[in-house]
A and B are shown apart, each in its own frame.
Chain A
Amino acid sequence: MLLISNGRVLNPATGSDAPRDILLDGEFILGIAPPGQLASQAQGAEVFDARNLIVAPGFIDLHCHLREPGGESSETIETGARAAARGGFTAVCPMPNTRPVNDNASLTRSIVERAAVVSPVRVWPIGAASIGSKGEALAEIAAMQKAGIVAVSDDGHPIANAKLLRSVMEYCRELDLPVIDHCEDSSLFAGAVMREGRQSVRLGLRGMPAATESLCVARDVQVGELTHCRLHIAHLSARASLELVRAAKASGLPVTCEVTPHHFTLTDEDVQYDSRYKMNPPLASREDRDALIAGLADGAVDAIATDHAPHEPALKDVEFDRAPFGVTGFETALGLGLELVHAGKLSLMRLVELFTSGPARVLGMQRRIAENEPADLTIFSTEHKWTFRAEESASKSRNSPFDGREFRGAPMATIVAGKIVYRR
Chain B
Amino acid sequence: MLGIEPLSAEEIVFLLDQSKPFQEIQRHPLKKLATLRGKTVALAFFEPSTRTRISFSTAASRLGADQMNLQAESSSLKKGESLLDTVRTLDAMKPDCIVIRHSSSGAPEFVTRHLPLPVINAGDGTHEHPTQALLDALTILDRRGTLEGLNVTILGDILHSRVARSNIHLLSKFGCRFTLCGPAMWLPRELECLGPAGTSIRRVTRIAEALRDADVVLTLRVQQERLHEPSLSIDEYVLQYQLTPERLRLAKPGALVLHPGPMIRGLEIDPAVADGPQSCVLEQVTNGLAVRMALLFLMIGAPADAPSEKESSHAAD
Contacts and interface: CB of A to CB of B under 8 A. Distances in A.
Interface of A: 196-198, 200-206, 272-274, 314, 317-322
A318 B5 CA distance: 23
B124 A204 contact: yes
B174 to A, nearest CB: 19
Given A200-B190, A205-B105, A321-B106, 10 more contacts: A196-B190, A201-B188, A202-B190, A203-B106, A204-B106, A204-B127, A273-B110, A318-B110, A321-B105, A321-B125
A192 to B, nearest CB: 13
Contacts, number: 63
B104 A320 contact: yes
27 contacts: A196-B190, A201-B159, A201-B188, A201-B191, A201-B194, A202-B165, A202-B194, A203-B105, A203-B106, A204-B124, A204-B128, A205-B127, A272-B106, A273-B105, A273-B106, A274-B113, A317-B84, A318-B82, A318-B84, A319-B102, A319-B106, A319-B107, A319-B110, A320-B104, A320-B105, A320-B110, A321-B106
A322 B191 contact: no
B109 interface: yes
B83 interface: yes
Interface of B: 5, 82-84, 102, 104-107, 109-110, 113, 124-128, 159, 162, 165, 188, 190-191, 193-194
Contacts of A318: 82-84, 110
Given A318-B83, A319-B102, A204 B162 contact: yes
Contacts of B162: 204
A289 to B, nearest CB: 18
Given A201-B190, A201-B194, A204-B126, A321 B104 contact: yes
Contacts of B128: 204
Contacts of A322: 104
A221 B165 CA distance: 41
Contact of A204 (B84, B113, B125): B125
Given A201-B159, A204-B162, A204-B165, A319 B104 contact: yes
Contact of B127 (A197, A198, A203, A317): A203
A335 to B, nearest CB: 26
A200 B126 CA distance: 10
A-B complex: 7 closest residue pairs judged by Cβ atoms: A273-B106, A204-B127, A319-B104, A204-B126, A204-B105, A201-B190, A198-B190
A401 to B, nearest CB: 15
Nearest to A313: B84
A196 B159 CA distance: 12
A73 to B, nearest CB: 15
B221 to A, nearest CB: 16
A206 B125 CA distance: 10
Given A201-B191, A319-B102, A314 B82 contact: yes
A254 B143 CA distance: 69
Nearest to A274: B113
Contacts of B113: 274
A370 B82 CA distance: 54
Contacts of B188: 196, 201
B163 to A, nearest CB: 11
A197 B83 contact: no
Contacts of B191: 201
Given A197-B190, A198-B190, A198-B193, A205 B106 contact: yes
Contacts of A317: 82, 84
A273 B127 CA distance: 11
A203 B124 CA distance: 10
Contacts of A200: 190
Contacts of A273: 105-106, 109-110
A321 B125 CA distance: 10
Contacts of B124: 204
A322 B84 CA distance: 13
A322 B103 CA distance: 11
A200 B84 CA distance: 24
B3 to A, nearest CB: 10
Contacts of A272: 106
Contacts of B125: 204-205, 321
Contacts of B5: 202
A277 to B, nearest CB: 11
